[in-house]
Structure 1
């Protein structure tokens, strides 16, 4: 019998990272469960209907709605009545996927907070790796062993953690929602092929004997879900992203999550690539080099250039390159060099956000 290994979140609203970021940004935390503005097509244009069933005619409100650039193809559009709500609009795209529009200020604070965590996450990585190595050596197929396998894959493949709602509604997958059909194990080699976020085909893999052994044992369990484990009662349970994030919190003693691996990966990939780029003779050369590196990193992470630059490459890395000091960092490893850079820039109070 299979049971869900997840558990309902008991965190209060005030401990929700989105709510905290909204408060820090001076915004109101909003959800699309609140009364909002609806969009109704009228020929070649749209009317916007307020919560009281009246057409919106206020110029400021209409200007705000237009600034959100909600695609005409979206259906079931909800728009916040609050100009300073952190969530400004939601809707379903042509493929039925839920999409969001956020207040620009909320995105700035969220991205800055993400980068502020990087030095702490980098410092915790050795501890995470030691725990993963120990748990991969456990007997049989307990929860800790399977979670450790996913954490190893998060770090080495840059894949997303996964969300069951996306898997069910959009047929897009991440590590915790993979099905048996998405994996091929050949000796110590493990290869994954699946449709990820935004319909992008993801093809990643790892050569690791212990990981391959765990994945093979998971694959042999009944059911379609790949990553399952056997609990102390001998019951088969499905692993969830909540299980992975709780593991991260238990190991580090801090609120790090699976998403931090991708931010750290983007920063590390960019730093290593920029350290090897030919020296530049002008500001224009430097800009071209940075764009080329960001494009490479974006491709590996499955993002656009703008999203990658804004949310996945720490601004201090780009600043160090354009200032000509990135290549002079002296450390035993690239990770140590980047960590030293982030700490140095943090002490200097360098701004943590930069336009894409």
Structure 2
């Protein structure tokens, strides 16, 4: 990654401060594997563990904690935190020399909550991003900002991963920034078709029918070289875009430290909300019937994101949208909302209401919280289904996916 595409020192400092605050809120200590830790050493058919002073780890609680981390035997350069409440419990290198982490369970929970809190701010910043995209897409030629705007616009429509040069080299798996010209074709009706192998071996087959975007992509393909998305630098030389540049563009355009991954979290949550708003509650209502309906929606969104349903449910769909569907709060939206931007606004408004309700319930007394919970449970089983259901697939206006996309 070029120096220009690396996060600034101020951005890194802000992230570190946020992480320390998050750790503190969970009763954890923010740590780093740069600090002295417990080392793992081969001992016969198993392992022994050494403290920073070289002495052996013998106390039962620490040994039990290490066993529960389930660090793979093949990992090398293993570092284990000396503190039971460290937010990172262990790190190690896998067979490909990639650093892997074992986090404290409470850290995973607090960071998961924080991730979904971020999408509120992301949704609020979308209008600012759209204004920047309109301006940059109108630039003449193929300068850096125009090509980055093309990648971001395509990412917004398709929710495809941004891509990573290392994955492209090592795994032959691709994302938007690493696509090659051979991955693009043009089909009847003036549509562009992107067909490639993505992360985890998922096959992507996506059609883009936004006329302006298709025209811009065609122009990029006609530039010399094999990389699909390239820009001309100040010296007129062609440079391929990278994921760091895309993330820097997002931070600059949106005024926050957002990344390409936030697009997928926002898109997954919005897609689930949009589909649930079209889905009547099952009759007769039962927990089994509700879960079956939810799982069908999760599978649809997972297909759109190119994830497994389990990963999609955990990482890309804010759980409050399922609570809203069960409580009847989403019903009727599909009759009032039209167009992608209106769905963005509807998603943002619903998330704001859900957050406000959660804060109110949190401030209630223990007795009141039981009452609130029981009332919500009663509402979810007695809600009236919408007057009509509208069938549809989870997809943006400009992209339709066949298979996993």
Shorter-normalised TM-score: what interval? 0.7 to 0.9
In 2 relative to 1, CA 59–199 (structure 1 residues): closer, same or farther, beyond 3 Å? farther
2:307: which partner in 1? 303
Contact 2:181–2:228, Cα closer than 8 Å, also in 1: yes
Structure 2 unmatched ranges of 5 or more: 363-405
Q: Distance in 2 between matches of 1:230 and 1:46?
A: 54
2:104: which partner in 1? 103
What is the CA-CA distance between 1:48 and the residue it aligns to?
Answer: 2.9
Measured against aligned partners, the alpha-carbon deviations of 1:255-311 in whole angstroms (never above 9, x if no partner) come to 332221101111012112222334231233212322332233233323344432232
2:385: which partner in 1? none
Of 19, 22, 27, which aligns to 1:21?
A: 19
Q: Distance in 1 between matches of 2:207 and 2:83?
A: 45
What is the CA-CA distance between 1:41 and the residue it aligns to?
Answer: 4.3
Q: Distance in 2 between matches of 1:92 and 1:199?
A: 22
Paired residues for 1:113-152 under 5 Å: 113-152=114-153
1:176: which partner in 2? 177
Of 275, 280, 291, which aligns to 2:295?
A: 291
In 2 relative to 1, CA 156–208 (structure 1 residues): closer, same or farther, beyond 3 Å? same
Contact 1:193–1:201, Cα closer than 8 Å, also in 2: yes
Contact 1:22–1:106, Cα closer than 8 Å, also in 2: no
What is the CA-CA distance between 1:171 and the residue it aligns to?
Answer: 4.7
Measured against aligned partners, the alpha-carbon deviations of 1:43-78 in whole angstroms (never above 9, x if no partner) come to 543333433444422222222222222234434433
Q: Distance in 2 between matches of 1:158 and 1:289?
A: 23
Q: Distance in 1 between matches of 2:205 and 2:96?
A: 22
1:264 partnered with 2:266:
yes
**Segment drifting more, 97-106 vs 41-50:** 41-50
Say which SS state the counterpart of residue 46 (structure 1) adopts: strand
Of 163, 167, 190, which aligns to 2:193?
A: 190
Q: Distance in 1 between matches of 2:295 and 2:150?
A: 34
Contact 2:22–2:111, Cα closer than 8 Å, also in 1: no
**Segment drifting more, 187-196 vs 31-40:** 31-40
What is the CA-CA distance between 1:16 and the residue it aligns to?
Answer: 4.5
Measured against aligned partners, the alpha-carbon deviations of 1:25-55 in whole angstroms (never above 9, x if no partner) come to 2133333344433334445433334334444
**Segment drifting more, 41-50 vs 274-283:** 41-50
Contact 1:131–1:251, Cα closer than 8 Å, also in 2: yes
What is the CA-CA distance between 1:5 and the residue it aligns to?
Answer: 7.8
Contact 2:194–2:204, Cα closer than 8 Å, also in 1: no
**Segment drifting more, 47-56 vs 307-316:** 47-56
1:237: which partner in 2? 239
Paired residues for 1:63-78 under 5 Å: 63-78=64-79
In 2 relative to 1, CA 29–214 (structure 1 residues): closer, same or farther, beyond 3 Å? farther
1:206: which partner in 2? 208
In 2 relative to 1, CA 83–217 (structure 1 residues): closer, same or farther, beyond 3 Å? farther
1:332 partnered with 2:341:
no
Of 318, 321, 334, which aligns to 1:314?
A: 318
Q: TM-score scaled by structure 1?
A: 0.84
In 2 relative to 1, CA 342–97 (structure 1 residues): closer, same or farther, beyond 3 Å? same
Say which SS state the counterpart of residue 193 (structure 1) adopts: strand
1:85: which partner in 2? 86
Measured against aligned partners, the alpha-carbon deviations of 1:187-240 in whole angstroms (never above 9, x if no partner) come to 5413140332x4444444423333333334433444444322112332323322
In 2 relative to 1, CA 199–62 (structure 1 residues): closer, same or farther, beyond 3 Å? farther
Measured against aligned partners, the alpha-carbon deviations of 1:146-190 in whole angstroms (never above 9, x if no partner) come to 011111121122112233444455554332233444444555413
- Cα-Cα RMSD: 3.0
In 2 relative to 1, CA 322–67 (structure 1 residues): closer, same or farther, beyond 3 Å? farther
In 2 relative to 1, CA 172–79 (structure 1 residues): closer, same or farther, beyond 3 Å? farther
1:215: which partner in 2? 217
Say which SS state the counterpart of residue 161 (structure 1) adopts: coil
Q: Distance in 2 between matches of 1:134 and 1:178?
A: 24
Contact 1:4–1:238, Cα closer than 8 Å, also in 2: no
Structure 1 unmatched ranges of 5 or more: none
